[in-house]
A and B are shown apart, each in its own frame.
Chain A
């Protein structure tokens, strides 16, 4: 085990190997490792983001559903109110119309009664005059007493 020029040879060989390793072996492998690490990290981050977004979407969907339910209930409530209102209005209108018809009928009845009374009065007057004429045929002059007869007929 002599120390000899092998020492120098080994040192040079070693230096060349280290240089080669540094130049051609280490960087590609480390780069590949780094790239893969990044790819995996990105993938995991994307998955995490996706899960988060899905959660948000589910929450949003639940909120929307709830809102829709509330709105539907509101609409149904309004519709019911409106229906009740319409019925009330219709009732009021019908009542008014009925009242009007009754009033009209009453007025007509009144009018008819009036007319009947007029007629009756006229006929009674005529009848009275006729009766009186018959009674008084001889002594009463229709023309002379017309004014009187008229007054009597009006009093009836």
Chain B
């Protein structure tokens, strides 16, 4: 099993598209930096002005923490797309290219091979999220400075600077869980669909439709949102409430872990029954 995981990780590291995805993520973050650096104060000024009628505001509202929060809030739908470009064809590309025969003709078990694909996907997501956290938070604090965080959820939430690090770490940790679940879903799809491009497109389609339904659910499908993966992907926001709803967070954690487990079992069953005829 260790040999197979190493095998998958080496292949992953050598794939050019992994660097393309990481590069795109950096570009997206840099664009947000640029936008907030040039127009950030203007963009939030109208909100701040209304607050200034009742409160005295010291320091920068648009500080490094605020920028990182905006990045988290903006990219939660873009990043799964980048992730799925890698994970969506981890298996199907082997089927399409025929390299699966090279692997399966050696003394390796199918379940082990499938599990090593999932572990490689998780490794990629971990690297991706760590890179994301690194290129967001660290440059943001240098470029925009420090301070308390003002967020606008059901009114204004003011979070003290000393209380922010664990919240960001938790938020990125939860983002890892959400993205990992989505990556596992896309890997599972590839066991059923066999075509890389179709797998990637369907994964993105699920993300888009789920987002749309989540938006509509407030008005049309009340109560349905907890069945949508995007609902659970966005639960990292709960870490930025002054009073954290831990039960909602744990509920989402259980949902995402269970969903991932079901996906993995489905992929294992499918793969063990699959005839490699290509």
- A and B are partners in one complex rather than unrelated chains: no
